[in-house]
Amino acid sequence: MKSKFLLDCTGLSKREQTALCKALEGLAEGDTPLLLELLFVSKEEIRSLNARERGVDAVTDVLSFPADGFRAGEPILAAEHADCVEPVMGMRKGEWVRKGAHLYLGSVVICTERAKEQAEEYGHSYERELCYLAVHGVLHCLGYDHETEEERRAMREKEESVMRKLGLERV
C-alpha cells in the first residue's frame, strides 16, 4: 500500500504541508504513515551541522538524516523498523497498523538563505526551490542517492514526478 506522509514542520503553512504530503504519496510502499521532520536553518547553522555530522566545513543547501537504513524502492514495514515506530497511547508492542501510529523516517534540514540564492541563480521561485530541496531530502531519507548515473536518473525521475504534482515543474 502507498504510504502516507506526515510533516513535523513549523516553517510551512498547513496548506503547504498538506500539498507536499499529498504530492509525496506514492514514493514509498509501507504499512504505516511516514513522519518527517522538516527544519529550516541559517547558513551558519547548516555549516555547523555539515561540519559536525559529515566532516565538511561548508554551507550546503540541504542535509538529510534518515532514521534507519531504508532502501530505495523497498517497502517500509513497521515490524522491520520497530525502533522508528511512534506508538499512540494504549498501543501495545506489535500493534503497528493502528490509527494514529506512524514511523519516523528522518529529518531534512534546509538552508533558507542558500535556497533563496539558488532560486535566483536558477531563475525560478523561492517556493519551487524550497519544495525541490524538501523532496530531494525526503528521497535521501527513503534510501535514494545520486552517486552513479543510474541512481541519479532514478532519483531525478522521482523528484520531477513530485514537483509536477505540486505544479512546480522545471521550465
Residue 76 CA to residue 97 CA, distance in Å, equals: 12
Residue 102 CA to residue 61 CA, distance in Å, equals: 28
Tell me, yes or no, if the pTM score tops 0.75. yes
Per-residue confidence (pLDDT) for residue 10, from 0 to 100? 87
pLDDT digits (tens, 9 = 90+) for 82-111: 888 876 544 555 554 445 678 999 999 999
Residue 136 CA to residue 158 CA, distance in Å, equals: 9
Percent of the chain with pLDDT over 90: 78
84: which residues sit within 8 A by CB, 6+ positions away? 67, 68, 103, 104, 105
The helix (H) or strand (E) run that includes residue 163 is helix 149-165
Domains by residue range for the chain, with CATH: 5-165 (3.40.390.30)
